[in-house]
Structure 1
Amino acid sequence: MNLSLLIILELEQSPVIQEKVGNRMRAYGEPSDKSDTFIIIEPNGVPDPRAPVSDSFLAESHLIQIDVQGPNHTNVNTVANEVRRVMWRVFNMSTMGDGLDTYFEETKRFLDSRTYEGAPQKLYYQNKIM
């Protein structure tokens, strides 16, 4: 299954995300409802093979950019921190140091953008991938 969709499925399980975001999550582009806090998930590059065994690999390292946007800075920060918690605990992915926390006057929205890196354990340990 696509990693972006797996992330959405996991985030939907969080009470914080359910309360503050609801169904305003989308992979590969903005959701149609941007009236409140929303999440955009996009892969950043292609997966990189990891964990070599014999003539194959057991995992791939992924870069995923997750943007949290909304009109309320406190809600955006709360949701971004919950996303970070889920990404670490469920997918074993951590943030890289190139995040962005800003306000866009044109859209009247705050943005918290973070790139996550790691080899998500939820995807592997069943079969070789290459």
Structure 2
Amino acid sequence: MIDILNVIYTTLSKNDIIHTTCEERIKYYDFPGTGDSTKTFLLIIPLDVPIPTNFSSNESRMEDFLVQIDVQSNDRLIVKKIQDEVRKEMKQIGFGQLAGGLDEYFPETGRFVDARKYSGLPYKLYQ
């Protein structure tokens, strides 16, 4: 079993642009109410349970994962820059971006939100 949320968190945290912009505001599932939501933050959200795949001797050797990465900021261009870096990092660990997602401005919060879905069989993690 792989803790894919931790793998993604660690991978994204090591990216200089993401780390410098989001600092310690990379979270799982939801951003805490006590967190500083006036700054850029990133959420890693599992959208489904891992799906067993690649069977050998009737045993699953890998899992297929589906996650969503949300970036929120009061600056539209920062959101796009961070999501571009996220896409590059996710590709490095075997994930591809899926169609759909969210690209919206919320006037009540004054924040831009870009949410993208990624699916993957991270082969390198199983070696």
Query: When the two structures are superposed, what TM-score results if normalisation uses the length of structure 2?
Result: 0.91
Q: Distance in 1 between matches of 2:72 and 2:86?
A: 13
Q: Distance in 2 between matches of 1:106 and 1:52?
A: 49
Q: Distance in 1 between matches of 2:40 and 2:113?
A: 10
Q: Give 1:61-80 correspondences, 5 Å limit.
A: 61-80=64-83
- Aligned residues with identical type, % of pairs: 35
SS of aligned partner of 1:45: coil
SS of aligned partner of 1:11: helix
* Count of residue correspondences: 124
Q: Distance in 2 between matches of 1:42 and 1:122?
A: 21
The Cα of 1:123 is off from its aligned counterpart by: 3.4
Which aligned segments of 4 or more residues in structure 1 are displaced greater than 2 angstroms? none
Structure 1: unaligned runs, 5 residues or longer: 126-130
Query: When the two structures are superposed, what TM-score results if normalisation uses the length of structure 1?
Result: 0.89
SS of aligned partner of 1:4: helix
The Cα of 1:20 is off from its aligned counterpart by: 1.3
1:42-98 Cα deviation digits (max 9, x unpaired)? 110111111111211110000001100000000000001101110001x21011101
Q: Give 1:18-57 correspondences, 5 Å limit.
A: 18-31=19-32, 32-57=35-60
Query: CA, structure 1 residues 33+5, in 2 after alignment: closer, same or farther (shift >3 Å)?
Result: farther
Q: Distance in 2 between matches of 1:22 and 1:120?
A: 25
Structure 2: unaligned runs, 5 residues or longer: none
Q: Give 1:1-130 correspondences, 5 Å limit.
A: 1-31=2-32, 32-89=35-92, 91-125=93-127
SS of aligned partner of 1:65: strand
1:2-43 Cα deviation digits (max 9, x unpaired)? 211221111111111122111111002114121211101111
Task: Give the aligned partner of residue 128 of structure 1.
Answer: none
Range with greater deviation from structure 2 (78-87 or 23-32):
23-32
